[in-house]
Amino acid sequence: MPALKFVRSVWESFRANSGLEPRLLDALRVTHAVPGKVRFELDIQKEHTNRLNILHGGTIASMVDLGGSLAVASRGLFATGVSTDLNVTYLSSGGKVGDLIKAEVTCDKFGKTLAYTSIRFFNHRDEMFARGSHTKYVALAWKDPKNIVEELSPKGEKKE
C-alpha cells in the first residue's frame, strides 16, 4: 500500500474515532505522503480563529499534534502512539478566514520506543508562519495488526 493511501486511512480513523479532530480539523486534506514525510493543507474557517479573527494558536498546536501522528503513520504505524512532548513556535499570523495554509511534517527519528517529528506551516504567500516539534511514545503502537512498517520502510534503512 502506498504511503499516501495508508496515511489517509489513519486520518480517516482519527476522524471516525477521535473527539477533537473531526470537530476542529475535519476539513484538513492530506495532499502528499512518502515514508517519513507528509504534507497537508487547511482552508481557515471561523472555528479555526481567535477573537482577533486570525488563525488561533490552539488550532496550530492541534495540527502539530495531528501532523506528528500522520508522520509516524507515514512510516507504517496505524496506532501512532501518544504524545510525550509538543512544541510550537509562532512566527507570525497564519492568516484569516478563507486563507489556505499548508504544512510539511517530517518524521526525523523513528525508533522502537520514541518517534520525533518536526513541522513547518506556510501561509497563502508561502511564508513560514509557525514551526513545531512533536515526540511520540510508540512502543505499544508496534503491536497493532494494521501496521505496515516493513512495507513503508525507506530503502536501505538499518534496523535498530
Q: Return the pLDDT at 153.
A: 82
Which among 157, 158, 110, 159 has a CA at the least distance from the CA of 137? 110
Asked if 49 and 56 count as a contact pair (C-beta separation under 8 A), the reply is: yes
Q: Looking at residue 25, which CATH number applies to its domain?
A: 3.10.129.10
Asked if residue 154 is part of any domain, the answer here is: no
pTM of the model: 0.93
Which residue matches cell numbers 482519527?
14
Q: How confident is the model at residue 25 (pLDDT cuts 50, 70, 90)?
A: very high
Number of domains in the chain: 1
Q: Return the pLDDT at 159.
A: 44
Q: Return the pLDDT at 155.
A: 65
**pLDDT tens-place string over residues 50-61:** 999 999 999 999
Q: What is the CA radius of gyration of the chain?
A: 15
Asked if residue 150 is part of any domain, the answer here is: no
Asked if residue 30 is part of any domain, the answer here is: yes
Quick count: other Cβ atoms within 10 Å of Cβ 108?
13
Average pLDDT over residues 60-78: 98
Asked if residue 90 is part of any domain, the answer here is: yes
Asked if residue 9 is part of any domain, the answer here is: yes
Give the residues across from 104 on adjacent strands.
39, 120
Compute the mean pLDDT over every residue in the chain, rounded to the nearest whole number: 94
CA 86 to chain centre: 12
Asked if residue 98 is part of any domain, the answer here is: yes
**pLDDT tens-place string over residues 133-159:** 999 999 999 999 999 998 988 764 444
Asked if residue 149 is part of any domain, the answer here is: no
Average pLDDT over residues 37-54: 97
Domain of 92, in residue numbers? 3-143
How does DSSP assign the chain, residue by residue?
Answer: --HHHHHHHHHHHHHHH-SSHHHHSTT-EEEEEETTEEEEEEE--GGGB-TTSSB-HHHHHHHHHHHHHHHHHTTT-SS--EEEEEEEEE-S----TT-EEEEEEEEEEE-SSEEEEEEEEE-TTS-EEEEEEEEEE-TGGGG-TT--TTTTSPTTPPP-
Q: Return the pLDDT at 160.
A: 41
Percent of the residues in the chain that have a pLDDT greater than 70, as a whole number: 96
Asked if residue 157 is part of any domain, the answer here is: no
Percent of the residues in the chain that have a pLDDT greater than 90, as a whole number: 92
